[in-house]
Amino acid sequence: MHAILKMTAQRLGLGLITLVVVSAIIFFAVELLPGDLAQEILGQSATEETVAAFRKELGLDRPAYVRYFEWLGNVAVGDLGKSLANQREISELLGVRLYNTLFLAAIAAVMSVPLSITLGLLAALYRNSLYDRLVNIFTLSTISTPEFFVAYILVLWLAVNNAIFPSISNIGPELTFWEHVYRSLLPAITLTLVVTAHMMRMTRAAIINLLASPYIEMATLKGVPRRDIIVKHALPNALAPIINVVVLNLAYLVVGVVVVEVVFVYPGLGQLLVDSVSKRDFPVVQACSLAFAVTYILLNLTADILSIVSNPRLLHPR
């Protein structure tokens, strides 16, 4: 337990350093975007004096590095600032949108994780069979297809030709839980099709790799049924790589939803990011990007810890 706590502390320290580096990249990348923020907000009809006064009001007349450290200090104490578009607190905007994104990712995870592990186990159990080949063809097809194309195909099939789901996921606080789930199902199915291939193929590869181990061969020679060999002997020892790929794909579900949210006009963090870029609302863009970075780093840390808990030998790599 002490070794795991020490490793967790080290990973948290590295994650914090990574987050600072990412925050600098986010801030200065936004600074490099073409155009003048004050001019964009005030419009082309604004005079030079008005633009200069507004730039001073926003603090844009100061050097970029000074504004970066001021922004970083404010973020460290929980002050994300205000939106330039509507003067609302950014933390208030992010709260609702982040909840919606996590809700969508949770629905996709509930569908994709059991499906992927089951498909991977069956593919390993019936290796090189017709089922194995068909599943591999299907998953490779979905993983090779861009998310927006998968989304539009699903909209055509399940919303236009067959009115099963709404084509636009217009959700709000007035909806009940199950109405929220129903309107989120189509984007969740899109995400499921995209991430299932990764998790299924990793599960299959991990199981097949272990089937060549001496203890598996011994169990086979003893007459243990193949199903029991995979479920009771191979699967527990394959948990580390499976957990790793599952958690990393969950990170993708949260961080990679931008395209899917835009297609379905889903009011999540990705949609807020795109809207803020179009409005040149830089403080919101920086806050959204930082929220995605924090989520990804935390889920990577979770993947490391769960992998080691499931296989303590990883604490002592050779």
The pLDDT confidence band at residue 232, using thresholds 50, 70 and 90, is confident
Q: In sequence order, which residues have a C-beta less than 8 Å from that of residue 315 and are 6 or more positions away?
A: 3, 4, 7, 308
Q: Between 46 and 180, whose confidence is greater?
A: 180
Q: Please state the pTM of the whole predicted model.
A: 0.82
- Residue 134 placed within a domain: yes
- Residue 202 placed within a domain: yes
- Residue 149 placed within a domain: yes
- Residue 243 placed within a domain: yes
Residue 1: its pLDDT value, please?
56
Q: Average the pLDDT over 8-31 and give the result.
A: 82
The secondary structure of the chain in percent helix, strand, coil, rounded to multiples of 5, reads 80, 0, 20
φ/ψ (deg, to 5) at 82: -120, 150
Residue 312: its pLDDT value, please?
63
CATH number at residue 130: 1.10.3720.10
Q: For residues 179, 177, 291 and 86, what is the CA-based torsion angle, rounded to 10 degrees?
A: 70
Structure tokens given for 268:
């999540």
Neighbour tally for 130: CB within 10 Å: 8
The pLDDT confidence band at residue 138, using thresholds 50, 70 and 90, is confident
Q: Contact, 186 vs 166, CB < 8 A?
A: yes
Rounded Cα distance, 81 and 86, in Å: 12
Q: Between 22 and 55, whose confidence is greater?
A: 22
- Residue 289 placed within a domain: no
Q: Average the pLDDT over 148-163 and give the result.
A: 86
| Average pLDDT of the chain to the nearest whole number | 81
Q: In sequence order, which residues have a C-beta less than 8 Å from that of residue 60 and are 6 or more positions away?
A: 37, 38, 67
- Residue 217 placed within a domain: yes
The pLDDT confidence band at residue 141, using thresholds 50, 70 and 90, is confident
- Residue 8 placed within a domain: no
> How many domains is the chain partitioned into structurally?
1
Q: Average the pLDDT over 118-145 and give the result.
A: 83
- Residue 110 placed within a domain: yes
Highest mean pLDDT among 19-28, 45-54, 224-233: 19-28
Domain with 234 in it? 104-281
Neighbour tally for 69: CB within 10 Å: 11
Tens digit of pLDDT for each residue in 257-312?
788 888 888 888 888 888 887 777 778 888 888 888 888 888 888 877 777 776 66
